[in-house]
Structure formats: structure tokens, C-alpha cells
Structure 1
Amino acid sequence: MHPAFSVVFFTTATGAGYGLLALLGVLGGLQIIPADFWLGLVGLALALGLIAAGLLSSTGHLGRPERAWRAFSQWRSSWLSREGVSSVITFIPAGLFGIGWVFLGHTDGWVAIAGLLAAIGAIVTVCTTGMIYASLKPIAQWHSRYTLPAYLIFAAMTGSVLLNALCQGFAIGSKMLLAACVLLTVFGWGWKLATWRHNDRLEIPTTANTATGLAGGTVRSLEWPHTEENYLLKEMGFRIARKHGAKLRRITQLLAFALPVLLLTAAFVLPWPFAAVFSGFAAIVQFTGMLVERWLFFAEAKHTVTLYYGR
């Protein structure tokens, strides 16, 4: 699949934003983290800013962005529409939670309920995003048991690392949060390796014979259906060289998982403000690595339609 940057940034930014929002809603609503004015202001602004930037970026991949609003009407059958509806609904409790935390100075009572509802909305929205890809049967690399959990795991991972960086920056970080960040990053690393292993061993049952319904022989293409590059080949027939894919996988592991683990481990043993600096670097490096991971997620996917072009 063609890895358009608008969609790569959308899935990365919204995943981190919803992960951070969910953690702020739960931990803030349960008073596990203090109702600090600046933490609430910066944290919620960062979470909602990432979500809004990602959603706006996603419209850049549409042929007619001005018609994006029509996607909301198909929520009964479309995961894309459900994602749009849930993302908008989530802004309502998130906004109330922000008003209570930032302007009223407390996160208990109705503010806590709003925070928990915002967390639920964030989780539901991430699930709908994952299902957009997991439900696509023509793309075997996505239509697997690994896709939906990956979106939830990576949202929790990047969101926790962002929250830790914020808490460390305001000198209210905790060893428990740091340990959770390390464990989630290691878990995400293992899940990504398992996904790659599954995809590399994947035996796709669909062939040119089954795709055309012409059994009993070997179907091959004498001529391409088109004499030049078209939309299908551009969007569905993108190919990445094996050596480049292997290199980008190593970069993903280094930036998204290995370096953040090392930086967070260093922050675990260093005093403040060094712990804050290392935590901030970990969040930046991991976000960069997840952009590479998302690019690979699209680039390595193979659509069944390419069989009609002899690929």
C-alpha cells in the first residue's frame, strides 16, 4: 500500500494523543496524579492537539476533503465513519474534564466522571481506527489478530511515555510510571516482532486463479489492464525493496523501542532534572520511531488487486 504521510502522521499522532488522554482521564479522575494546573493545561493541550492535528492530517489523503463530513453518515456499516463519530464525541467529555481540571482546579466528582468517559471514548476511537485496517480482507497483513491489539498497545505505550515526560518536566514523576513505560515499550517491541514474524511467514491463499475464478490451469497476464501507471497501482501496488524494508525495521526497533527503553532506564536512576531531560528525549525519539513503524505498516501491506497486474 502507498504510505501517504498524511495517514502515517494521522495514525501516529492520534494514537499518542488518545493514549495520553486516556491516561490523564483515568489517573487524573482517580486522583493518582495531582490536579496541578500546568500539568493539566499542557497535558490536555498536547493530547487534544495531537488528536486534532492527526484528524486534520487524515483529510489530506482524500480526493475531495470538503466532502469528509459525509463519512459520518455511514456509521452503521463503516469503521471509518465510526471512527469519525467516536472521535468527535470524545471531545465532549474531554473538554468538560479540561474545564474542571484547568479552570476549576479539581479532578473529583463530575470532573472525574468526565475524565473516565473521555478515557473510554479514547479507547473506543483507537479500536475503531484499528478495525479500519483489521477488517480489510484483501490485505492479509492487516486482516489478522495482531492489528487491533497493536493499535491499543502502541497508544498506551506512546501515551504513557508522553505522560511520564510531562510529569518529570513538572517534577512530579514517579518510579512506578517510569517502570510502566519501560514495560509497555518492551511489550510493544515484542508485539511488533511477533507481527513481523507472522507476516513474513504468511501464506496468502488467494492467487490469480482464485481471484479470477478460472481454476484448472495457470492464469497469467499477457498484457496489463492499463498501458500506464494508474490509481490502483499507485495506491495498492506500492512495493518496497527487501533490503530497504530490513533496514527500516532495524531503525524502527532502535528509535521506537530500544533507545526509549535505555533513556527511560537512565531516567529511573538519575535525579531530577536529568530524569526529566532523558524522559523528554525518550518521548521525542519514540514518536519519531513510530512514524517509521507506521510507514512500514502501510508499505509492507499487499493488496489482492495487484494479482490482476501480474504481481
Structure 2
Amino acid sequence: MQPARSLILFTTLSGLGFGLLVWLGVDPTPPTGWVALVFFALAFLLALGGLAASSRHLHRPERALRAFTQWRTSWLSREAWAAALALAVMGLHGLLLVLDIVLLPLGWLGALLSLATVTTTAMIYASLRTVPRWHHWSTPALFLGLALTGGALLSGRVPVASGLLLVIGALQLWVWWDGDRRFARSGTTLATATGLGEAGTPRALFPPHTGDNYLLHEMVHVVGRRHAMKLRVIALLLMVLVPLGMLQLPMPHVFGLLALVSHVAGVLVSRWLFFAEAEHVVGLYYGRR
């Protein structure tokens, strides 16, 4: 798939924002006053910034509100509703905390809605049978893991963040290893698509189009295996290993901030690969595998 910058920013920033909201919601001793204002402002800035970035990928952004009408069949619509409810509940929770009013059940509800928002975002991709690499339970697991890890780093939960970094590193390695085999396991070929498998192995004599088109621009992107391997190493180093090492050093405020910056940079690289390596079955018709 084409790794659009708007979608990379959207999934990264919104994941960080809603991940931070989760930890703020479940905190048994949440911050209050000005400290709460800073944390909630940061979370809302990231969440809303990510959602705003996603609108740049729409051909008709002015029609974005129509997404709310398709909640019965569309994960995008469910994401819109979950995000709106999560931000509304956590906005009220944050306002009460700024006023030194602690209502923990409200925070728990907001945390659940924030988790639901990240899940619905992931399901937009996991529901696509035409992209075998995404059509798997590990896609929402990875999205949730990264959101919780980023939120833990943002909220200064060093022991929790350290444990989550190990978990997310192992999960990411497995997702890459298993994801490389999912297209073959899906059994999708030109023979199955055309129903001509019994007659032999079909092949295209000419490409379907002589020039560029929407499908090639949006659905087909070829990344070299060697190039992808280098980016995987960079992503793992920045996303997991460097932050994990920095969290063990003294001066947690300084090295904690550097760990967060490194982690976010690694997630951006990982998310680029998430889109670039995802092969849509339509690529078979263009010989782009």
C-alpha cells in the first residue's frame, strides 16, 4: 500500500494521545490542578492532531461528518463515534481534575472508550481481507500495544513503560516474521482470481493499463527486501532498544524525554513499513509482487 504521510501521522499521533488518556483515566491518584491541565492538554493535542492529519487523506474533507452515519457497517464510522465519546468523557474528567474534583469511575469509562478508539482504528486495516498482512488479530494488538507504551512514556511510568517496550518489541518482531508469510498463506493467486487454475497457471500478456491509475497510486507500493530489512532494524532500535536503555539511566526527566523522542521516531519508521509492506491482492494483476 502507498505509505501516505497523513495516515502515518494520524495513526502515530492519535495512538500516543489516546494511549496517554488511558493512563490518565486509570490512574488511582490522578494529577489535579495545573498539572492535570498540562497532561490533558498534551493528550488532546496529540489525539486531535492525529485526527486532523487523517482528514488530509480524504478526497472530500468537507464530507467527513458523514462518517458518523455508517456505524453499523464501517469501522471508520465506529472510530469516529468512539473518538468523539472518548474525548467528551475524558474532557469532562480532565476539567473536574483541574478543579480538584476526582471522580475515578468517569476516568475508567474514558479509558475504556480511548482503548476502543485505538481498537477501531486498527480494525479499519485488520478488516481488509484484500490485504493479508493486515487481516490478522496482531494488527489491533500492535496498535494497542504501541498506544499503551507511548502513553506510559508520556505519563512518566518508567517501570510500566520498560515492560511494555519488551513486549511490543517481541510482538513487532513476530508480526514482521509472520506477516511476510501471510500473503502466501492466503492462497490468493491469478489462478484463484480468474478460476483458471485447472487449465494451468495463467499469466497476463499485457498490463491492465498503460499508464498510472488510482489503484496503482493507492494500493500498490513495492519496497525492496534489503531496504525493508534496514528500516526494520532502525525501527526496532529507535522504538524499543534505545528507549529501554535510556530509561535505566539516572536523571529520568532528561533521559525519559529522550526515550520518548526515540520511541516516537521508531514508531514512525515502523508505521511507514506497516503501510509500505502491505500488499493488496490487486497488485497481482499488475505483476507487482
| One of 127, 131, 138 as aligned partner of 2:123 | 131
| One of 254, 262, 275 as aligned partner of 2:252 | 275
Does 2:114 align with 1:114? no
Does 2:181 align with 1:205? no
Q: Which residue of 1 aligns with 2:77?
A: 81
Scaled by the length of structure 2, what TM-score is found? Answer: 0.96
- Take 2:242 and 2:117, find their aligned partners in 1: how far apart are those partners? 29
Q: What is the deviation of 1:113?
A: 2.3
Q: Which residue of 2 aligns with 1:172?
A: none
1:230 counterpart letter in structure 2: N
Contact 1:220 1:310 in 2 (8 A): no
Q: What is the deviation of 1:117?
A: 1.4
Does 2:100 align with 1:105? yes
1:135 counterpart letter in structure 2: S
- Secondary structure in 2 aligned to 1:61? coil
Contact 2:15 2:147 in 1 (8 A): yes
2:193 counterpart letter in structure 1: A
- Take 1:112 and 1:183, find their aligned partners in 2: how far apart are those partners? 25
Does 2:149 align with 1:157? yes
Contact 2:133 2:180 in 1 (8 A): no
| One of 150, 159, 175 as aligned partner of 1:195 | 175
Contact 1:161 1:181 in 2 (8 A): yes
- Secondary structure in 2 aligned to 1:63? coil
Q: Which residue of 2 aligns with 1:246?
A: 229
- Secondary structure in 2 aligned to 1:222? coil
Q: Which residue of 2 aligns with 1:303?
A: 280
- Take 1:276 and 1:12, find their aligned partners in 2: how far apart are those partners? 23
Q: Which residue of 2 aligns with 1:261?
A: 244
- Take 1:239 and 1:72, find their aligned partners in 2: how far apart are those partners? 34
Contact 1:94 1:118 in 2 (8 A): yes
Q: Deviations over 1:235-288 (max 9, x none)?
A: 11111111110111011011110100001111xxx2xxx221000111111111
Q: Which residue of 1 aligns with 2:135?
A: 143
Q: What is the deviation of 1:300?
A: 0.4
Q: What is the deviation of 1:10?
A: 0.4
Q: What is the deviation of 1:95?
A: 1.2
- Take 1:74 and 1:105, find their aligned partners in 2: how far apart are those partners? 39
- Secondary structure in 2 aligned to 1:221? coil
Q: What is the deviation of 1:38?
A: 3.0
- Secondary structure in 1 aligned to 2:267? helix
- Take 2:240 and 2:177, find their aligned partners in 1: how far apart are those partners? 17
Q: Which residue of 2 aligns with 1:222?
A: 205
Q: Deviations over 1:198-232 (max 9, x none)?
A: 01233241000111222221111111111101110
Stretches of structure 2 that go unaligned for 5 or more consecutive residues are: none
- Secondary structure in 1 aligned to 2:247? helix
Q: Which residue of 2 aligns with 1:37?
A: 33
2:244 counterpart letter in structure 1: V
Does 2:269 align with 1:286? no
2:164 counterpart letter in structure 1: L
- Secondary structure in 1 aligned to 2:211? coil
Contact 2:19 2:152 in 1 (8 A): yes
Q: Which residue of 2 aligns with 1:46?
A: 42
Contact 1:41 1:98 in 2 (8 A): yes
- Take 1:127 and 1:255, find their aligned partners in 2: how far apart are those partners? 24
Q: What is the deviation of 1:188?
A: 0.3
Q: What is the deviation of 1:39?
A: 2.3
Stretches of structure 1 that go unaligned for 5 or more consecutive residues are: 165-176
